Amino acid sequence: MSWQQRIDNALTERRAADAFRQRHPVTHGAGRWLVRGEQRWLNFSSNDYLGLSQHPQIVKAWQQGAERYGTGSGGSGHVTGYSEAHQQFEQELAEWLGFPRALLFISGFAANQAVIAALMQKEDRIVADRLSHASLLEAASHSPAQLRRFVHNDSLHLANLLAKPVDGLQLTVTEGIFSMDGDSAPLAEIMTVTRAANGWLLVDDAHGIGVNGDEGRGSCADQNVKPDLLIVTFGKAFGLSGAAVLCSEETADYLLQFARHLIYSTSMPPAQAVALSAALRVIRSDEGEIRRQTLRRHIARFREGAEQLDMQLTSSNSAIEPLIIGENSRALQLAELAREAGCWLTAIRPPTVPAGTARLRVTLTAAHQNDDIDKLLEVLHAARE
């Protein structure tokens, strides 16, 4: 078989399974509206949960940061790329979340890969929720450690796996809010069984930070849990991009020595760190609380209406409200019908989700209005007939 044949065969299989992925260039892809050229749709596919991606204070902060620091960092943080703007935001983030240290990464994917690769050794074991994000499961499978997966949100199964003999150390891995189902992990139970096994707990709270808990401190704070490693990302509620690892002083120093994704990657632009500081101020403010309350009302409004539809809801109380369709072709058809009616939805299909669980991944934001939610429900009602 030639290289071309291998590629052609893989693409043919994807198309045949209605699983072929495509990108759509947009003029605006975050916020209330998705805009492409002269067309626009109500946007129910963005992770901009608080509607901060176009917040004037944050936009201005980035502009001012670029004027002061330039457009790029110029290198790895271990060389010339670690600026006072990075340091200031790390300190603000650590203080807010109650950890000794925070380390900035260029993305959540990089942060998850870096931490697991740097920490785990051959004699160790990773026990991960089976629905954890691809970045976590891929990092775990590529690490030298043994990987075991526990039944989704099943603390008893987790405890049984952790109780099995192991020569090295154990790391429990889960998300605060799961990106494809939108439900929350029972973090207090998970922490209890992990501690009983002398393990460490890693929580990726990409979809909880900024939204859940007092001042938006996230899923862990909301459940009064302090994991050994907390990973937060800024591409959702913060309205920007990037990520951070929250941890102890010693763990931070260790990662600075051994986390290759941190050592060998160009750091985020200092202007981005300035903008992140501005976003954090909004999230912690009265305005941030108003936006969280608005989002919660939208979630309740959508779920109340969606229960009348002939579609399967998950147990989500988050901004992620998947509608389980089943077949790939049907999910694609419903997404297209919704777009024709003015609502932009995305069909999520295997391998991103398990076979037979293709879905419409509805995401709600504080930027939406009540009429937007009602319009979406009307469109979904009509599309299913």
Q: Which of 86, 157, 207, 298 is catalytic?
A: 207
Mark 65-87 as b/e (b = at least 16 C-beta within 10 Å).
bbeebeeebeeebeeebbbebbe
Q: Which of 155, 179, 316, 328 is catalytic?
A: 179
Residue 366 phi/psi, 5-degree rounding, is -65, -15
Helix axis angle for 370-383 and 328-340, nearest 10°, is 130
Q: Which of 124, 175, 228, 372 is catalytic?
A: 175
Q: Residue 281: CB partners within 8 Å, gap ≥ 6?
A: 57
Residue 41 phi/psi, 5-degree rounding, is -135, 150
Residue 125 phi/psi, 5-degree rounding, is -135, 135
Place of tokens 């777009």: 339
Catalytic annotation present for 133: yes
Catalytic annotation present for 381: no
Tokens of residue 142, six digits: 């590529």
Catalytic annotation present for 47: yes
> What is the per-residue DSSP string for 7-48?
HHHHHHHHHHTT--------SB-SSSEEEETTEEEEE-S---
Catalytic annotation present for 204: yes
Q: Which of 48, 124, 183, 204 is catalytic?
A: 204
Distance CA 311, CA 355 (A): 17
Catalytic annotation present for 226: no
H/E run at residue 301? helix 286-306
Q: Which of 43, 46, 47, 135 is catalytic?
A: 47
Q: Which of 55, 86, 157, 236 is catalytic?
A: 236
Q: Which of 55, 86, 133, 298 is catalytic?
A: 133
Catalytic annotation present for 328: no
Provide the annotated active-site residues: 47, 133, 175, 179, 204, 207, 236
